[in-house]
Amino acid sequence: MRHVALLFIAFLGVLPMASSASAQNRTSVILGTATPGGGFPVYGAAFTETVNAADPSLSIEPRNTKGSTENVPMLEAGSLDIALVQGEVAYEVLSGIGRAPANLKIIAAMYSTPGMFVVRADSPVRGIADLKGKPVAFGAQGSGLVILARYVLDGLGLDQNKDFQAVYLERAGDGPAMVMDGRVAALWGGGIGWPGFKTMAESPAGARFIAPTAAEIERIRAKHAFLKPLTVPPNSYPNQSEPIQSLGSWSFVMARPTLPDDVAYRVARALHKGEAEIGRRFVQARETTAANTFAAAPRPELIHPGVMRYLREAGIAR
């Protein structure tokens, strides 16, 4: 009996070491997001918590950055493993617009981003043309939302910097207060559940959204066909009873060129397993599904090989 007791004590002594070894063997994955106050850090938190819970062998570690335009070169340099990249930035870097095409791969489709302005409920502004010559906060300088605004306005024959008093923020979260106290006439943003819009809609001053008209959407798409018509469903924000028609694109979680296939495979598997959970944590992330990843990718070959392997195994891709 004494021998058995000693063996049992020795076994108990090994358990903490085994647990510690298991923790040390977790694969660390650094995730680049954006400046505090915008949608990317909130999404990044939901992504991190969901993946880490679904696959304990992974350790997603979020990092605040300046946003999409900084995330891309950091991915290329290998200083980030994966990062959030807004749709228009992804379009430009994958297509080689203004630069050589980036050798980056898609890990997941995040969510679609209908772009629009928000003003105070008592603002006289009724359309995009009414904002000409006025101070407008277009977001944080490194944000892909700034680029989305540039394409939308260019499609209407407007220049972001010449036709407006363009304001670029140090922190994405600073925009709503600037609209509410009158420093700017409007704030540009995008998506369903976007924090800046939510803050405005819940403010005592109230909010009203300004999106392109149907005719303006046609005009914009005639020049920039990669932008897709998108709808913000009713009640996406407080006191928003009607759908809002706009246009935009899908944002993506993208990977550095050398991210191992097995890591990408495990992230894709964990996300698929946690689809309901990530949507519960952040409303926009309800669109983060394996099916949307395959459907939203501009071309299948842009999806990471490890992710494609999982999508085929799951019956989502052929």
Domains of the chain with bracketed CATH = 25-111+250-313 (3.40.190.10), 113-248 (3.40.190.10)
DSSP state of 37: T
What mean pLDDT, rounded, does the chain reach?
91
Which pLDDT belongs to residue 22? 47
| C-alpha distances out from residue 191 to 116, 167, 235, 287, Å | 9, 20, 13, 11
In angstroms, the CA 231 to CA 1 distance is 72
- Tokens 């998108």 appear where? 230
Long-range pairs for 155-163: beta carbons < 8 A, 24 or more residues apart: 155/216, 155/219, 155/220, 155/221, 155/222, 155/223, 155/224, 155/227, 156/128, 156/212, 156/216, 156/219, 156/220, 158/128, 158/132, 163/132, 163/133
Structure confidence at residue 142 as a pLDDT band (50, 70, 90)? confident
In angstroms, the CA 106 to CA 139 distance is 25
pLDDT tens column, 232-271? 999 999 989 999 999 999 999 999 999 999 999 999 999 9
Tokens of 238: 């407080």
| CB neighbourhood size of 110 (10 A) | 30
pTM here is: 0.77
Mean pLDDT of 193-219: 94
Structure confidence at residue 37 as a pLDDT band (50, 70, 90)? confident
> Mapping DSSP to helix (H, G, I), strand (E, B) and coil, where does residue 225 land?
coil
